[in-house]
Amino acid sequence: MGNNRVLVVGGGLAGLAATMKLAELGIAVDLLSLTPVKRSHSVCAQGGINSVSDMTRQDGDDEWKHFDDTIYGGDFLQNQPPVKEMAYWAPKVIDLMDRLGVTFNRTPEGFIDRRRFGGTLYKRTAFAGATTGQQLLYALDEQVRRRESEGLVKKYEFWDFLGPIVDDNGRCVGATAQDMVTMEIRAFPADAVVVATGGNGLIYGRSTMSVFCTGSAASRCFQAGANMGNPEFIQVHPTAIPGADKLRLMSESARGEGGRVWVPRKANDSRYPKEIPEKERYYFLEERFPKYGNLVPRDIATREIFNICVKEGLSVDPNRMSVYLDLTHISRAELDRKLGGILEIYEKFQGVDPREEPMKIFPAVHYSMGGLWVNYEANADGGLLPGSPKNQSTSLPGLYAIGECDYQYHGANRLGANSLLSCIFSGLFMGPGIVNWMKGNKAAVDLPKSIFEKAVATQEARHKKLLSNNSGDENPYLIHQELGDIMTRAATVVRDNKQLTDSLEKIGQLSERASKCGLSDTGSWTNQNVIFTKAVQDMFPVAKCILKGALQRDESRGAHFKPEFCMPSLSATDPVAKRAEAEQWCDAFEENNKKFLKSTICTWNGSDPVVTYEDIDTRLLAPRPRLYGLVGGEVIEQVWNERSAAKAKDAGSKQLVGAT
Amino acid sequence: MIAPGNEASAKRRPSKVNVRILRQDGPGLPGYWERHQVDYEPDMNVISVLQKVAAQAKTSEGKNVAPVAWDCGCLEEVCGSCTMVINGRVRQSCSALVDRLLEDDANEIELRPMTKFPVVRDLVIDRSRLFRSLQRVKAWVPVDGYYDMGAGPRISREEQEQNYPLSQCMSCGCCLEACPQFTKIELQRQPGETAEDYAARKNASFDEGFVGAHAISQAMLFNAHPVGKNMASERMDALTSAGGVQDCGNAQNCVAVCPKEIPLTTSIARAGRAATVYSIKKIFDR
């Protein structure tokens, strides 16, 4: 590929998958990361990775159903071709990871073992104990180290990405970055830049995310002209362990392996949990959702746990809201074999053995479904066209986004064990498209030096201004705390327009204050203070996108829940009245979809995001109501199916699929 | 391992936590102790203490200072970032709970950087040698490539249960800090030396030092893999050359400090036996 180089920013699953695939295609890669790539946040993923397997296939499962579950679980907010392609690649991704030596749990006969995860009725999830993300990341890290030894990959670890470099034609031709040890700022000319920088949980102060997940890299791309998609969709994981510095994840696999969520039926029941008899326990997920039980999709489990504590007053701990997640009915040996990693985390940080005593858990901010808007090119089958340079490309030509920092795969709510898949898939699949993108363009290294010098000068000016300490004396750590408090209150489980409006105003003021930070370290060696301050400042554009996107979306969809705009349960008992009510329900549903079955698109005007909407590509699956646990759901489903059948007949289309 | 209940420590909650930190402004500069005091909160760990220290940027004597630099990531003991020496013991700072540490010494918590790696600043150390060791032993499966070629080899449950603990190594470096045979290698960049030349000189120097328990264990992991073992002889070359498994002095400190309880000494014993067989075989194969 001659002089061509690609810069990959971020070394989690997506960034490493992209790096190794590009290296295989003969492309030289500079891999830039805030941390040694082996320590990236993907290590925290616990439960597993989804695909259809030979076993589930024989129970009637196939790739199409994995695709359908993902779209339905995401409340139809995804463009369908990329999701379809991912579901069809999933078995191949797991085969590849298996070949790379991932220590997946095995059946007694030596096949890859599977567990069940949320939002599906099939046991699709392959896992390596309860540290699947770590194991997958290490396998990719090892392959990238191999390519590094061969000389095709050059790692820049402890470097902070400062922003894309855009030439006069609006093409991204590299990036600026800063060495976090020497504080040197330099340009990395590149023929394509791939950002794989993960989620933005730190905007919420404490979350299940690692300290690197500030969202600042995506924000810097956004401020340089790349659009954001669906920023308001933030997954709050139902089960986390509250902590002073972090909310530690308690994997969905705990429920996948039979863990049961409950509270005492009586409020303020102070008995030791194991002394509370079965009939006095309220297994509220199992009672309310008989079909999926404890494995309802995450947005639903989160709201139920939140409500049972906040609205119904049944928290098991008077001082700290929580419910029980109970594994004590499962044998120690089985727990250790399948869930050892997460049980150790609970034991180490809480000082209680979850094999003996139910865990106390509560929801926490966990995953950004939204992120940088990316494009795709569909093929005739409604999947993706391999090798298209459009796949995963942002609205800034030459800038690509993959993994959690793109918006493409999970819609309004991500299903458990689909994130590892989307990260590895998007990283692998994008490679050939980048090769084709680079073909028509002049190599970045041959461009005038002035483009790069100018970009470096801009970043140096920002850096020097901060170090000069002339702007004010605001404390960046305290600003971050305030931001986290506002965001956690306004934009997590339940959203309210008045609060969102107030919060937008507060965030605007706080953003002003953040521009007046005073530094306690003005040195030029390993200055973590200035790196953090820049990250905090760059959280604001994304925080504004989240709030504004949430404010303008007057509906409830997946993780975005506004009680004021919520499709009600049916109240009538008489069959005829119930039928009429269901008809009205379906009318309202269709009306709402006309308005809001759209991607939120944010563009940056220099100080604020501007929100527009884009139609969703539903070429494969017609949207249908998501009815998990809704009273009267079966009547709505019937009405909906009849309407769909009538429409299909009208249109002569065979592609509409009714609610199942 | 069950820690004592929270009730016991709740009884004597202090209002402040004192912490003594060994600081260093940069490579090659002298270290100095500094005392900080932060408000006590229930369920604190060393990370939350350091977060408060950074936000205050003020010593217990009230002197304004630059925030203490330290390294951290996941905060749940799977990323390996936050290793330091806490009350004299090498460990992860995220899982070092303040209530437990105050049981050692109620007056003060002591934090120092690891001693076997060059200090970058304060508690931040440069562990690039640790990753270089993984290159030395070629710790990867040499697959043909990343195209779809079907499933991997069948692995028995027994093999998986033997390999999984080894593959949990998070490269934190605790085993190396505790190892008497692993001694610090610290180089300075020469004036006029390019970054590439400096990196190459460092690697050459690292390659002469002891490879370390973590890397020996990884070599054993990949030698046990059906495809990984195609490179077993290359790994054994690395483990039988200078700085290889023969440098292990059998102090067994590594296994005692490993936060993931990886059976490192079992791996080293296996490597030692394999090295003997390999060396003899090499003599006869000449």
pLDDT of residue A1: 47
SS3 (DSSP) at A306: helix
CA distances from A428 to A18, A20, A102, A140, A190 (A): 5, 8, 17, 11, 19
Q: Please give, rounded to a whole number of angstroms, the shortest distance from the CA of A302 to a CA of chain B.
A: 22
pLDDT at A222 over 70: yes
Share of chain B above pLDDT 70, in %: 96
**From the candidate CATH numbers 3.30.70.920, 1.10.1060.10, 1.10.1740.10, 3.40.50.720, the one assigned to the domain spanning B127-285:** 1.10.1060.10
- Is residue A518 in a domain? no
* pLDDT tens string B37-65: 999 998 899 999 999 999 999 999 999 99
Mean pLDDT computed over every residue of chain A: 95
pLDDT of residue A243: 85
Mutation to test the B interface, candidates A96, A149, A522, A530, most B Cβ within 10 Å: A96
Q: How many residues make up chain A in this entry?
A: 660
CA within 13 Å, CB half, A10: 32
Residue in A246, A347, A478 nearest the CB of B1: A347
pLDDT of residue A2: 62
- Judge: B47–A104 Cβ closer than 8 Å, yes or no: no
- Judge: A477–B51 Cβ closer than 8 Å, yes or no: yes
* Residue corresponding to tokens 């120690």: A332
Mean pLDDT in residue range A555-568:
95
A434 CB near a chain B CB, below 8 Å?
no
- Judge: B76–A345 Cβ closer than 8 Å, yes or no: yes
Q: Which two tokens stand for residue B5?
A: 């209940």
- Amino acid identity of residue A198, one-letter, is G
Q: Please give, rounded to a whole number of angstroms, the shortest distance from the CA of A434 to a CA of chain B.
A: 16
A201 CB near a chain B CB, below 8 Å?
no
- The residue in chain A having the minimum alpha-carbon distance to the alpha carbon of residue B82 is A39
pLDDT at A25 over 50: yes
- The residue in chain A having the minimum alpha-carbon distance to the alpha carbon of residue B70 is A528
pLDDT of residue A3: 78
- The residue in chain A having the minimum alpha-carbon distance to the alpha carbon of residue B156 is A110
pLDDT at A143 over 60: yes
A186 CB near a chain B CB, below 8 Å?
no
**From the candidate CATH numbers 3.40.50.300, 3.40.190.10, 3.10.20.30, 3.30.70.260, the one assigned to the domain spanning B6-121:** 3.10.20.30
**ipTM score of complex:** 0.95
* Residue-range definition of the domain harbouring residue A606: 572-651
A297 CB near a chain B CB, below 8 Å?
no
- Is residue A476 in a domain? no
pLDDT of residue A652: 66
Q: Which two tokens stand for residue A28?
A: 């030289």
- Is residue A536 in a domain? no
pLDDT of residue A76: 98
Q: Please give, rounded to a whole number of angstroms, the shortest distance from the CA of B32 to a CA of chain A.
A: 17
Q: Please give, rounded to a whole number of angstroms, the shortest distance from the CA of A532 to a CA of chain B.
A: 11
pLDDT of residue B9: 44
Are both A201 and A124 inside the same structural domain? yes
A72-84 residues labelled b (16+ CB within 10 A) or e (exposed): bbbbbbbbbbbbb
Pairing of strands A323-326, A260-264: antiparallel
Are both A604 and A639 inside the same structural domain? yes
Q: Please give, rounded to a whole number of angstroms, the shortest distance from the CA of B276 to a CA of chain A.
A: 26
- Is residue A81 in a domain? yes
Helical H segments across A49-131, by residue range: 54-58, 63-73, 80-99
- Is residue A399 in a domain? yes
Are both A30 and A94 inside the same structural domain? yes
Are both A242 and A311 inside the same structural domain? yes
Q: Residue B85 and residue A53: Cα distance in Å, rounded?
A: 46
Are both A174 and A63 inside the same structural domain? yes
Q: Is the dihedral of CA B250, B218, A130, B7 positive or negative?
A: positive
- Judge: A521–B6 Cβ closer than 8 Å, yes or no: no
pLDDT of residue B12: 62
Are both A140 and A256 inside the same structural domain? no
* Residue corresponding to tokens 């965001």: A487
Angle at A348 between CA A344 and CA A352, to 5 degrees: 90
Are both A213 and A116 inside the same structural domain? yes
pLDDT of residue A659: 41
pLDDT of residue B38: 97
Residues of B within 8 A of A184 (CB-CB) are: none
Mean pLDDT in residue range A620-628:
93
Share of chain B above pLDDT 90, in %: 92
Q: CB within 8 A of A112, min separation 6: which ones? A: A53, A94, A98, A104, A105, A106, A126, B151
* pLDDT tens string A645-659: 998 888 765 454 444
pLDDT of residue B191: 93
Single pTM value for the model: 0.96
Instruction: Flag residues of chain B having pLDDT under 70.
Output: 1-12
The residues facing A165 across adjacent strands are A174
Share of chain A above pLDDT 90, in %: 92
Residue in A92, A103, A110 nearest the CB of B156: A110
Give residues 329 to 348 of A whose Cβ lies within 8 Å of B: 337, 341, 345, 347-348
**Region class of A392: left (phi > 0), else alpha (psi between -120 and 50), else beta:** left
Domain limits, chain B: 6-121, 127-285
Are both A317 and A415 inside the same structural domain? no
Are both A373 and A300 inside the same structural domain? no
Mean pLDDT in residue range A362-384:
97
Q: List the catalytic residues of A.
A: 298
Mean pLDDT in residue range A361-386:
97
